[in-house]
Structure 1
Amino acid sequence: MKRIILFVIVVITFSLSGQYATLEPYNDNIKKTEVKEAFKPGEWLKFRVHYGFFNASYATLHLKSAKVDSIPVYHVVGKGKTTGFASIFFKVDDTYESYFDKEDGKPYRFIRKLNEGGYTKDVEINFDHNKDVAILNDYKNNQKFNFTVGDSVQDLISAFYYLRNNYNFEDLVVGESLALKVLYDDDGIFNFKLKYLGKEILKTKFGKVECLKFVPLVQSGRVFKEQESLALWVSNDLNKIPIRIKADLVVGAITADLDAYNGLTHQFEIIMD
């Protein structure tokens, strides 16, 4: 139960708690294109995570405006909590925060605070893009780590918003991939890769939604059935918000669905029958 709940909380923000596979070089034919702004301050997304018939948790992402050293930035707060029946067995209360540049999406600060059934973590990463370094402070263990980073590195949360705002997903070709370098823990920088599988129409609580389907590569064996057991559906509109995340585990399956939203920049497109 602990591993399942941990997974569903973190997967909303594209992390699998160290379960990613080592990735081969990806197809670099996909080029960044000029796209319309996909989000704005005030955007709020809520996801309901369920395991079988049980609601396991809720997760939210709230986008705000802030400043870091007088630089205008976006500030995202992501929260995940177990609820109901699941919280009886294992309580989770996690918070992720990211501060990233409003112009180019570069991260300036990343905060990760976990409280998972007694296991805690308190990490802060500060990025200095002038020196191409990132300093990770592990406050719980009183440790500090320095990493050399380039212009393309993202933190766990900023990566999600960077992809939404910098790629025209309609230009993707089935089978090709998007990839980013991400730093979120003292394990260092890893390659995050999303393979595009095409379009699908999903039935949701809001109605039918046309989505683009992606598959992140994950490590099989310990949690997932296969390397491509995790699937992500993103709305095929200018918002590019996650609609559903589904994972086939070694035992059972978990689904996270968009449950509520507010402050979207563009009209949320629903297919009318």
Structure 2
Amino acid sequence: MKTVALILLGLITNAQSMVKEKPVNTGEELQFKLSYGWFTIGRGTFKISDDYVLRDGKECIEINVSGRTAGLAGVLSKVDDQWGAVVDKDNFLPYYSYRDLSEGDYDLEEHVYFDYDSMRVKVESSSANEEEPRPTRFYDLEKTNVFDMMGGLMYARSIDYRKLKNGDTVQLDAFFDKKFYDFEMIYHGIEMIKTKVGEIYCHKVVPIMQKNSVFKGEDAVTFWVSADANRLPLKVEADMNFGTAYCELTAYKNVKSGIDFN
């Protein structure tokens, strides 16, 4: 599911301001479907902890995400991935994140710790397929507003899009897979789209993807977030070298505003 990770990373954005009333609710749970063409190839769950947890005396939310292959894709190559993070509930900066990946013959367990006193990131990783343990690695934080994937996604939901005009560009700083990234995204205004959870007005954004072997061009990914109090990530469309992939919200519960959709 590294392709999914790249898509999500492209959504992380470090905007000038966030809405005062954050679209975050403890216990929120989102269900997603990943498809390629007409075929469903995976399903995922995004879950926020029922209660706040404390880190450095600050209230934080714990996020856990699971992704599994489905349908024919599950027969050809089984994927069972777990992702997560502990991030500040107000600014979504990370204190800890993890990846536990099982993808066919590949596996990885990784734990990342963000230390703002020493301004360093510590990465511990291991693989059941390797006889020797991997060394612990440290990376210097040159900025305090560097997001991990999960906190960055929450930040993207909290941008005050009302202050953006069509064509405005927004910057981001992120750390993922032992690398620092500097991304941009372009805001494309509001449009109504038909989704699995109804016809909804959305903010449309296009992350500028760095050159890689997965996506077709720098504007290959489009992201829609609901233009309401929940700022739900409704749909991602990605033009890839092997075709177009979609990630769509199919159900949600315990959102901040409104009733459950199952």
* Aligned match of 1:147: 139
The corresponding residue for 1:226 is: 217
By how many angstroms is 1:35 displaced? 2.2
TM-align CA RMSD? 2.3
Q: Does 1:179 align with 2:144?
A: no
- Kindly tell me the number of residue pairs found equivalent between the two proteins: 251
- Rounded to whole Å, the distance in 2 between the matches of 1:85 and 1:50 is 11
Distance 1:113 1:15 in 2: 21
| Partner residue, 1:159 | 152
Q: After superposition, give the CA deviation of every residue in 1:82-110 in whole Å (9 maximum; x if it has no partner).
A: 01211111111111110012233221101
SS at match of 1:124: strand
| Aligned counterparts of 1:245 and 1:233: Cα–Cα separation in 2 | 7
Match of 2:8 among 6, 13, 20: 13
Aligned to 1:63: 48
1:19 equivalent in structure 2: none
- Rounded Cα–Cα distance in structure 2 between residues aligned with 1:155 and 1:133: 14
1:48 lines up with 2:33 in the alignment: yes
1:150-203 residue CA offsets vs partner (Å, 9 max, x unmatched): 2111111111112323x21111111112222111222x2111322111222111
Cα 1:68–1:33 change in 2 (3 A) is closer
Q: Are the counterparts in 1 of residues 157 and 225 from structure 2 also a CA contact under 8 Å?
A: no
What residue in structure 1 maps to residue 84 of structure 2? 97
User: Would you say the 8 A contact 1:221–1:250 is kept in 2?
Assistant: no
Secondary structure (helix, strand or coil) at the match of 1:81 reads strand
Q: Is the 8 A contact 1:122 1:138 kept in 2?
A: yes
Change (3 A) 1:157 1:203: same
Distance 1:51 1:207, change over 3 A: same
2:18, 2:165 → 1: CA distance? 14
Query: Against the structure 1 CA distance between its residues 103 and 254, is the aligned structure 2 distance closer, same or farther, given a 3 Å change threshold?
Result: closer
Indicate if the aligned counterparts of 2:183 and 2:209 stay in contact, CA closer than 8 A: no
Could you state the TM-score of these two structures normalised by the residue count of structure 1?
0.84
Quote how far apart the aligned CAs of 1:63 are: 0.5
How far has the Cα of 1:267 moved from its partner?
3.0
Structure 1 residue 41: Cα displacement: 0.6
Matched, 1:255 2:246: yes
1:160 match: secondary structure: helix
Return the offset for 1:130: 1.7
1:35 is paired with a residue whose SS is coil
User: Does structure 2 conserve the Cα–Cα contact (< 8 Å) formed by 1:66 and 1:73?
Assistant: yes
Counterpart of 1:136 in structure 2 is: 123
Q: TM-score normalised to the size of structure 2?
A: 0.87
1:28-39 correspondence to structure 2 within 5 Å: 31-39=16-24
Change (3 A) 1:203 1:242: same
The 1-side partners of 2:19 and 2:213 are apart by 40
Indicate how the Cα distance of structure 1 residues 211 and 75 shifts in structure 2: closer, same or farther if over 3 A, else same.
Answer: same
Does the residue aligned with 1:198 lie in a helix, a strand or coil?
strand
Cα offsets for 1:17-48 (capped at 9, x unmatched)? xxxxxxxxx9x9x6315521211111111111
| Alignment match, 1:235 | 226
Residue of structure 2 in register with 1:22 after alignment: none
Q: CA deviation at 1:13?
A: 3.4
Q: 1:34 to 1:217 in 2, by over 3 A?
A: closer
Cα offset, 1:137, TM superposition: 1.1
Q: Tell me how far apart the structure 2 counterparts of residues 192 and 219 of structure 1 sit (CA, whole Å).
A: 8
C-alpha spacing 1:214/1:34, structure 2 compared with 1 (3 Å): closer
SS in structure 1 at match of 2:136 = strand
Gaps spanning 5+ residues in structure 2: where? 128-132
Q: 1:75 to 1:82 in 2, by over 3 A?
A: same
For the 8 Å contact 2:225–2:232, the answer to whether it is kept is yes
Matched residues in 2 for 1:57 and 1:191: separation? 29
Residue aligning to 1:114: 101
Q: Is the contact made by 2:61 and 2:87 (CA closer than 8 Å) also made in structure 1? A: yes
